[in-house]
Amino acid sequence: MVTLLIADDHPLYRDALKGALCMAFSDLEILESGNLNETVKVLHEHVIDLLLLDLHMPGSSDLFGLLHIQKTFPDLPIAVVSGTEDVSLISKVVGVGAMGFIPKTASAQNISDAVNAMLEGDIWVPESVRQQIEQMDEHFSELAENVASLTPAQYNVLCYMRDGLLNKQIGYNLDIAEATVKAHVTAIFRKLGINNRTQAVLIASELQLEPPIK
């Protein structure tokens, strides 16, 4: 029995993906989640052979969901599923350890091929971009690993710092005290090995982190 978890906040897409997978596999159990917290809960409760993860579901905020789950479940194979078929994005997710990238426009056959390949331990990306994907350098991977150590609240603060917001503005947006924001900033500096906001902004910009999803 193969157990897959589809983590996506769009029920219609989850249904479509389930349909494609059920046609391709006879011995299959499919679990579902609609946000990052639900996904982590399911992963704690079940043994999953492959996670199909939408980067942009609530709580995920671009790469954060992938990095957070990898940090929590280091042995879990993860395939990123996204509506954005961007070469640089695909290169990043594979570079930080995802088993592959499945565009939401992929055909049922491509989805089947992708899942089969990843269950066998191979990396799978769309054929149209395989020749274009650049190898991630060691520096980027190290930055991504450091960002993965942030809590969701710290990640949100980092994104707002990247957008130029002051601590008071960040506190207002997140509905937390300014003193709490300052504590998060201090923790961010420590975990990223930096000592000022400019360095934090540069890291967030280099990783192209997205603002938090509410």
Span 154-204, pLDDT tens digits: 998 999 999 899 999 999 999 999 999 999 999 999 999 999 999 999 888
pLDDT, residue 5, reads 97
Whether pLDDT at 105 is above 80: yes
Contacts of 182 (CB under 8 A, 6+ apart): 167
The pTM of this model reads 0.70
Whether pLDDT at 51 is above 90: yes
pLDDT, residue 137, reads 55
Using an 8 Å Cβ cutoff, are 65 and 142 in contact?
no
d(CA 168, CA 156): 14
pLDDT, residue 1, reads 87
Whether pLDDT at 84 is above 90: no
Q: Where are the domains of the chain?
A: 2-129, 150-206
Query: With bands split at pLDDT 50, 70 and 90, how would you rate the model's confidence at 133?
Result: low
For the domain made up of 2-129, the CATH class stated in words is alpha beta
For the domain made up of 150-206, the CATH class stated in words is mainly alpha
